Structure 1
Amino acid sequence: MAMSRAVRNPAFRQLRGQRSPGEFAAAVRRAAREIGEHVACDARYIGRVEAGEIRCPNYAYERVFLHMFPGSTLSDLGFSDREAVRGRGAHSTPTEPPDHPSHPHSGKNNEESDVLRRAFMAGGSAAMAAVSLGLGPAPVPSPRHAPHHVGEAEVSAVEAAVRQIRLLDDRHGADGLYQRAAQPLQAAYALLDADTARRSAADRLHAGAGELAISVGWLAHDSGRFDDARSYYAEALATARVAGDPALEAHAFCNTAFLARDAGRPREAVRAAQAGERAAKHLSSPRLLALLTLREAGGWAGLGDRMGCAQALGRAKSLFARGPSDADPEWMTFFVEAELEMLEAQCWSALGDWPRAARHAQRAAALQDIRFARNLALYRAQLADDLARAGAPDRAAAVGQQVLDLLDQDQVQSSRIQAMLAGTARRLLPQRRAAGVPDFLERHASAPC
């Protein structure tokens, strides 16, 4: 098939301004580091975008560009719709393969990537996910249809699926994603039984499958399906042990500790967090150890051990203060100062110190990036509940209205947040004469479940 003529991208060229392609590429790399992405952007890549050779960036570059230009869409940046680029006409113009911007695939690998994209996100986890991923419906292949030989295209597809699930969850919450998210996981584990050309690819595939299990487990966790979540986290832990992957093991224990706390098993939360700390001890990531120590603090709070909780919080803050590291796992991009404040708020809330909890929840909400609507709604829901318990019903109702705004706009779908807000509404019932409380209660009662 003849290759169509590339159409230049003047919108992207305008964004570069007076900077040289090399200077702009350096700015892209800096922005990527800010959000935990890794892109090999250089002057040649910028030139290819401006020349129209890259009609749509891969998912890593998409995250970086949208971070650099808040409020913009890919269309605003001069790119084509992903579905149009990767659909029937996708091979008429060269496009950038997922996660490897400097190394275009051969025709065979492009075909493999299309198959894997359909395998991993087929049918869409929700209409929103299907549109965001730019993928059309297709059945996930059964294990017997997995490729006989696994190479770069398959491994990259697993890693891309993990990133996109995380991105969609950050922005929208778990409820709209969970029902179909197990399909890409099934395909990933089918690939583990196939031959792998290189040991490095096999290691990446195990890590990717394990991270995918954790991502699906988190969607179950956040949507209130605790038994399902426990099973997925256990599957990820088993994968980590088989592969001898301490980073994956630490992540699995981190989420297991979080789940145990939410499920009312605080002693298990402490032990799982401590196991994660042991796994992460030699990974050179103070931020990872900080998060695991916060999980431990949450367990101590659940046990009513104020001293144990305070000590763990102190260690976590000291570790966090050491700053980010090149060894920080990619999945930890959510763990910024706002999340640190939120987790501390939850600890003091569990210990019954509502005013202190509210102060930390207020900081979390103020610090959170507004683009991540799910976390913003979560932090505000925590703040509303802490304010209600602390004897500030008017402020609680006002913050509760802000959470309902996010829910009403269909920006967020999370059973966790809905349950928290329902608890706040119950606590405010005796305070119906306080300013703003009747309006909040009426609106909450009429909101769709």
Structure 2
Amino acid sequence: MPKQRNTTLDALLTEFGYTHQQLADEVNRIALDEFGTPANCTDRHVRRWIAGEVRWPWPRYLRPLQEIFGRSPEAMGFVSRKASQNATVPPRLAPVMRHHTMQRRTFIAGALIAALGTDQTPQRGRLGMSDVDRFQGATTRLDAHFNGLGGGALVDVAADYLSRLQRALDHCTYGERVERAMHRAVAEVAACAGWSAHDCGDYGRAAQLRNQALQAALLARDPVAVTRAWSDLAAQAEHAGRPAEAARINRAALAERHLRAEPLITALLHARLADCLAQINDPKGMGRHLAAAERIYDRAGTVGAPSWLAFLTPAELSGLGAIAHQSAGLYVRAEEQTACTLELLDDRFARNRTYYTVLLAELQLAQGASDRAAATVADVQVSGVASSRITARLERVTAAASTGRDVRDDTR
């Protein structure tokens, strides 16, 4: 087969801010941590992958690459050899679970800051709407990274960007229009950072960031940003075991008149409220709000939608319905919807694919089908998922499947 340059892998290095040597070092670090032996990867290996001289790396390189970029080999531009298609990832009894060290997280955060452009924030001078447009671009990239891979090092990147924006507010000059836009940008970044902290299991930090998002949204006098902040605080209350409080917040948000022009947000609020009602033993209310979410979503367009709502696809709406049915104890229906979600889910959302695969196994365990649950999680790839909450759940469900015991859902 003639050589063909791997432009996909080359673009990934640029996106994540790696040089050839930095990527080789990271492959070696992960391989040593996972396999206990060094991979002996060098910058020459990386150059050969990009040049197309090696179209399918050895497993000792391939697994670390999947963890670094959160993509399948094919999505990184590699082409499988027929003889190695069934041997690239040797079978394991259970997925390898590893905790990221602070050094690794800091390294990735530094690379992400450069790749996402969050370090390009003026700290003095006068700000104009062109600056606001650049801030929005960086925020869109933050949202896309979270929607695809989850929190992980992104919480440090988003928190760093939040500090930069706040310093710009304190030390730059600007007009009223720019000031409101800056507060809106702060609200959006704080919300993204809040979900990233939540994904890392740092719920105290998530609460602090979500309160910052609400304050900034109020200062921006932006009703959509305020609604998003309230919705995130409702999700926080639900996770803390206060579904009735979460239901009250979601209902209050749905009562806002401006939502008539925001069908996507309205559909999300209905779906989240449905889950709250399921938890407080109101299955009829759950059904009404799930139906409302589907009806409103069907007439919503995605053109011009905020970047943070990119995750709200038909697959995600099906998944939210599955979560609500799980909360109501309707495991058969929840399993059906989760399976549908996985069929519909876009490959961009590696985090959500892992999340719903784990949910599917949890639902199977709840019905006593430990063999099916074990098969469901047997081939889960968590290497690219930057969510300690999801990997911890996977670890629990894998252990439970081997013993046949049930596990309870860790509320999303």
Q: Deviations over 1:237-296 (max 9, x none)?
A: 111112210010111122222222222110121122123223463451212100011111
- Pair 131,305 (structure 1): closer, same or farther in 2 beyond 3 Å: same
Distance across 2 between alignment mates of 1:373 and 1:276:
30
- Measure the CA separation in 2 of the matches of 1:283 and 1:210: 22
User: 1:368 offset after TM fit, Å?
Assistant: 0.9
d(CA) in 1 for partners of 2:116, 2:290:
46
Tell me the distance in 1 between the aligned counterparts of 2:401 and 2:279. 24
Q: Is the 8 A contact 2:119 2:161 kept in 1?
A: no
Local SS of the residue matching 1:397: helix
* Partner of residue 55, structure 2: none
Where do 1:38-437 residues align within 5 Å?
A: 73=8, 75=10, 126-132=106-112, 134=114, 146-152=123-129, 154-279=131-256, 281-282=258-259, 284-324=261-301, 326=303, 328-403=305-380, 406-407=381-382, 410-425=383-398, 427-431=400-404
Helix, strand or coil: the match of 2:170? coil
1:92-121 Cα distance to aligned partner (Å, 9 max, x none): xxxxxxxxxxxxxxxxxxxxxxxxxxxxxx
The amino acid of 1:348's aligned partner reads H
CA contact under 8 A between 2:247 and 2:276: conserved in structure 1? yes
2:205 is matched by which residue type in structure 1? D
Please give the per-residue CA displacement for 1:297-330, whole angstroms capped at 9, x wherever unaligned. Answer: 1211221221221111111111111131545323
Counterpart Cα distance in 2 of 1:174 and 1:231: 16
* TM-score (normalizing by structure 1): 0.63
Q: Is the 8 A contact 2:315 2:345 kept in 1?
A: yes
State the alpha-carbon separation in 1 of the partners of residues 241 and 394 from structure 2. Answer: 19
Contact in 2 for aligned 1:250/1:280 (Cα 8 Å): no
Q: Number of residue pairs matched?
A: 320
Contact in 1 for aligned 2:217/2:226 (Cα 8 Å): yes
User: In structure 2, do the counterparts of structure 1 residues 200 and 359 end up closer, same or farther at CA, with 3 Å as the change threshold?
Assistant: same
1:84–1:353 Cα change, 3 Å:
closer
Change (3 A) 1:281 1:365: same
Look up the match of 2:62: none
Letter in 2 for 1:323: A
Asked if structure 1 preserves the Cα contact closer than 8 Å seen for 2:118 and 2:138, the reply is no
In structure 1, C-alpha distance between the alignment counterparts of 2:14 and 2:237, rounded to whole Å: 44
* RMSD across aligned positions (CA): 3.5
Inter-partner Cα distance in structure 1 for 2:309 and 2:202: 23
Report the AA paired with residue 332 of structure 1.
Answer: L
Q: TM-score, normalised by structure 2?
A: 0.69
SS in 1 for 2:255: helix
- Does 177-186 or 359-368 show the bigger shift? 177-186
Match of 1:68 in 2: none
Unaligned runs of 5+ in 1: 1-10, 12-70, 86-122, 433-449
Distance in 1 between residues matched to 2:365 and 2:212, nearest whole Å? 39
Deviation of 1:359 after TM superposition, in Å, equals: 0.7
For 1:137 and 1:314, the matched residues in 2 are separated by 40
| 2-structure distance, mates of 1:385, 1:136 | 35
How far residue 124 of structure 1 moved from its aligned partner, in angstroms, is 11
How far 1:340 sits from its partner (Å)?
0.6
Give the match's secondary structure for 2:329. Answer: coil
What is the Cα deviation at residue 211 of structure 1?
0.1
Shift of 1:162: 1.8
2:341 touches 2:356 (CA, 8 Å); kept in 1? Answer: yes
- Indicate if the aligned counterparts of 1:261 and 1:298 stay in contact, CA closer than 8 A: no
CA contact (8 A) 2:116 2:142 kept: no
> 1:346-370 deviations in whole A, cap 9, x for unaligned?
1111111111111111111111112
Structure 2: give runs of 5+ residues left out of the alignment: 20-102, 406-412
Report the AA paired with residue 215 of structure 2: A
